[in-house]
């Protein structure tokens, strides 16, 4: 089984619908992230959390919200989906070992299409 699991892997929805993407991890990491990938733009950070009681906005948080239900779970919600939120979404985790290793561990991605 994958260490970082995202559900659903693919979702097609309509404008205005509420969507939740879920992420769970078995790596025991404190830090979790949601990124969005668009062609030619690389990955952009939406939200991140350094522990269960910590939520932080990334560079493109507008239109999104998150919930850190437990150390192992981090959910991303689109309250009212719009077509320009069509993208590939990645959850990632990392540890903090006292040095800046920069290694993130990614899930396999959730492809969202908003019609």
Partner 1 sequence: GNSVTQMEGPVTLSEEAFLTINCTYTATGYPSLFWYVQYPGEGLQLLLKATKADDKGSNKGFEATYRKETTSFHLEKGSVQVSDSAVYFCALSVGNAGNMLTFGGGTRLMVKP
DSSP structural state of residue 46: E
Nearer to partner 1, 84 or 99 (CB): 99
Q: Is 90 in the site for partner 1 (CB under 8 A)?
A: yes
Kindly state whether residue 104 participates in binding partner 1, applying the rule CB under 8 A: yes
Taking CB under 8 A as the criterion, the residue among 11, 17, 31, 73 binding partner 1 is 31
- Between 17 and 88, CB nearer to partner 1: 88
b/e code 44-76 from CB counts within 10 Å (16+ = b): ebbbbbeeeeebeebeebeebebebeebbebbb
DSSP 3-state of 83: helix
> With CB under 8 A as the contact rule, which of the stretches 19-27, 35-43, 66-74, 75-83 interacts with partner 1?
35-43
| Strand extents, DSSP E, the chain | 4-7, 10-13, 19-25, 31-38, 42-49, 56-57, 65-70, 73-78, 87-94, 105-106, 110-114
CB of 113 to partner 1, least distance (A): 16
Q: Is 102 in the site for partner 1 (CB under 8 A)?
A: yes
- Catalog residues that contact partner 1 under the rule CB under 8 A: 4, 31, 40-45, 48, 90, 92, 94, 96, 100-109
């Amino acid at each position: 089984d994958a260490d970082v699991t995202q559900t659903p892997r693919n979702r097609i929805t309509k404008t205005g619908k509420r969507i939740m993407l879920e992420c769970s991890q078995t790596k025991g990491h404190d830090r979790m992230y949601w990124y969005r990938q668009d062609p030619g733009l690389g990955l952009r950070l939406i939200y991140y959390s350094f522990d269960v009681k910590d939520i932080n906005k990334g560079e493109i948080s507008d239109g999104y919200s998150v919930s850190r239900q437990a150390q192992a779970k981090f959910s991303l919600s689109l309250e009212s989906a719009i077509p320009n939120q069509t993208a590939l979404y990645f959850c990632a985790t990392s540890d903090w070992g006292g040095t800046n290793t920069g290694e993130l561990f990614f899930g396999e991605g959730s492809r969202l299409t908003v019609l």
